[in-house]
Amino acid sequence: MSVIDVFITSLVALRGNFLRTLLTMLGIIIGIASVIALTAAGAGAQQGVSSRIKGLGSNLMFVNPYSPTAPGGIAAVLGSSGASLFYEDEQAIRAANIPGIDETAAQSTTGGTGSLIQVQAIYRGVNSSTLLVGAEPSYQYVRDFYVANGRFISQDDLDKKGLVVVLGAQVADDLFGDTDPVGNTIRIFAGVSRQFGVTFSFTVVGVMERKGVTPTGNPDNQIFVPLPAFQARVPLIRNSRGYTNVTQISIKLTDGSKEQEVKAAVTDVLRKQHNIVNDNDFKVQSQSDVLSTATSVDRTLQVLLVSIAVISLIVGGIGIMNIMLVSVSERTREIGIRKAVGAKRLDILMQFVIEALVVTTIGGAIGVLAGVGAIQIARTFSIGGSDTKYLVTPFWVGMGLTMSAATGLVFGVYPAWRAARLDPIEALRRE
């Protein structure tokens, strides 16, 4: 028999047991749909993280306090000797005139989830929990994050420790709604609790452009004040040595290709500043380092998700093997008749293998459609949040179909082999 004749015979046999064939496909459909949906979620998350990290600015490098024994955030805020970073460190980096550095910007941050100090912006009885950032005028340029209304912090604000504030877009919406905030006075509370904290009045001079969520937080839920004003008024961050604590120094590079040279030079400057001989109490990371770490985490998650989907495929494959063995048992007499009229072992083997391949391939195609449909539903109803992205890639569509066919081939071979080895005389005796 030709391959086409075997294929037609297989389709006729499958149609004769339509409900059983459909139920056999179900495991493959669920498995492939899971592969498509989960990989789309993983690829979308990876793309979203990549775009958000790039959205922090271009050609960036970050210097943060680091201690292997203390939580970096608390150590930086409290000025721990184990992990401290100072405004004077940024000035030393600037003074070094390192080739490849375009501009630097120090910042000191407090508030937000997990912070010892809580920050609230208050206007006419309306409160907004937020993140307080002490910043320099260069922050805008370095982080590629500009005001949309009004102005940003100026050098004069730094010199005079001015009580001015620039609001993130979300904070402006929370406090003022559709009203222009510029020129109004808000109160900012910063402290461990209502009993242990301070409140100051600040004049709003600007509102930042809307940025969206990034891997490091939500820039729209931040407020910016002059760095010296931050240090002078926020409790628990003053340094006994007279230095200005900062939580991060951002460095904008002139050319991303000089990343390693700049990183080495900055490390040398800070080691001299901190009189370090052995372990560093700071960490220098480039934007590509952050992206690489985030991508690695996403890939690990994606492998986990695909592994879960593959398990469902294996379960579906075992179901196919079981049904095919039952089919061989039920069709023993048919196999005997076909052998008696001249069918070869290869013909019988091909018939049952093709039946398994047809079931799994059609099931795989339906699974791909089901997975894409599930993604469309998730997009329509914003399942996972409005910021969640789903990205269906041709690679995983092709991989899904390949996996379904491979499942049919692997789990269909044994029942087909059993059918091909049946003795025709014994098979004809079966009722």
pLDDT tens readout for residues 367-398 = 999 999 999 898 888 776 666 778 888 888 88
261 shares its domain with 352: no
pLDDT in tens, 76-87: 444 344 457 888
Segment 171-177 mean pLDDT: 95
Token pair listed for 179: 């009203």
Note down the domain range covering 192: 67-280
- Assign 98 a pLDDT band (cuts: 50, 70, 90): very high
**Percent helix, strand and coil across the chain, each rounded to 5?**
55, 20, 25
Q: How high is the pLDDT of residue 96?
A: 94
Encode 272-285: b = buried (16+ Cβ within 10 Å), e = exposed.
ebbeeeeeebbbbb
Whether the per-residue pLDDT at 238 is higher than 60: the answer is no
Q: What is the mean pLDDT of residues 345-349?
A: 83
The answer on 251 and 175 residing in a single domain is yes
232: Cβ contacts below 8 Å, ≥ 6 apart: 161
What's the total number of domains in the chain? 2
Query: What pLDDT does residue 76 have?
Result: 43
> Cα–Cα distances in Å, from 383 out to 39, 239, 297, 386, 388?
16, 46, 22, 8, 8
Residue-wise pLDDT for 246-257, tens only, equals 899 999 998 877
The phi, psi pair for 391, rounded to 5°, reads: -130, 105
Residues 91, 166, single domain; the answer is yes
**Per-position DSSP letters for 357-394, written without gaps between them:** HHHHHHHHHHHHHHHHHHHHHHHHTTTT-TT------H
> Does 52 score more than 90 pLDDT?
no
Question: Does residue 57 surpass a pLDDT of 70?
Answer: no
Question: 321 falls in which pLDDT band (50, 70, 90)?
Answer: confident
pTM: 0.62
Specify whether the CB–CB gap between 152 and 164 falls below 8 A: no
89 in the same domain as 189: yes
In this structure, the answer to whether residues 181 and 239 fall within a common structural domain is yes
Do 340 and 244 share a structural domain?
A: no
Asked whether residue 71 falls in the same domain as residue 33, the answer is: no
234 domain residue, yes or no? yes
Per-residue confidence (pLDDT) for residue 366, from 0 to 100:
92
Cα–Cα distance, 61 to 76 (Å, whole number): 18
Residue 4 burial (10 A CB sphere; 0-12, 13-18, 19+): exposed
